[in-house]
Amino acid sequence: MAIKSEVFQSREDWLQARGDTLGCSEIPAALGLNPWKTPYQLWAEKCGYVEGPEMNFRMRLGLELEPAVCRLFMEDSGRSVEHQKRPIIFRNEAHPFLHASPDAFQYQSQIVVDGYELMGAPGNLPGQGRLRLEQGRVGGSGSR
């Protein structure tokens, strides 16, 4: 199973590269489990009929807090986590319709950990978080 990665210089390039595949944050919407986006809205965005959401305060706050979440997770868990400074996408040739774009890497156990999953143990995640974790494993995670 070949996994390819691509690092992007800008958020805009990264967003464009995500256009034709499903990422971890989109899986709940595709399955009708996202309270903020319907499967139809996701389809319309992916097909280019409507623009995706504009960056809002909550999105900016999440991006700004990612390094702090990584640091706090390391302090609390004792695990080594490295925050991604630039956007990256992993694609698994066995699942070309999926991608993973982790916010951080956990190298100790060689598992890619998304920023959202840093908030709780896999067995304790709410539905959306659990789906994102599982898709990240299938869509593109792997050892370093």
List, for residues 73-114, the tens digit of each pLDDT value: 888 888 777 888 888 888 888 888 888 888 887 765 555 554
| Predicted TM-score of the model (pTM) | 0.69
Beta strands 88-92 and 3-7 are antiparallel
Measured distance CA(142)–CA(112) in Å, rounded: 7
pLDDT band at 10 (very low <50, low <70, confident <90, very high): very high
Element (H, E) at 12: helix 11-17
The least confident of 6-20, 26-40, 51-65, 121-135 is 121-135
Distance of CA 3 to the CA centre of its chain: 16
Measured distance CA(88)–CA(136) in Å, rounded: 13
Structure tokens at 101: 């774009």
- Ordered by start, the domain boundaries in the chain are 3-139
| Rg from Cα positions in the chain | 15
Class of the domain covering 3-139: alpha beta
Beta strands 111-113 and 88-92 are unpaired
User: Which spans in the chain are helix H?
Assistant: 11-17, 27-30, 39-46, 57-77, 127-139
Measured distance CA(66)–CA(97) in Å, rounded: 26
pLDDT band at 116 (very low <50, low <70, confident <90, very high): very low
Q: Mind listing the pLDDT tens digit for each residue in 16-57?
A: 898 889 988 888 899 998 888 999 999 999 999 999 888 899
Measured distance CA(18)–CA(99) in Å, rounded: 8
Measured distance CA(88)–CA(13) in Å, rounded: 10
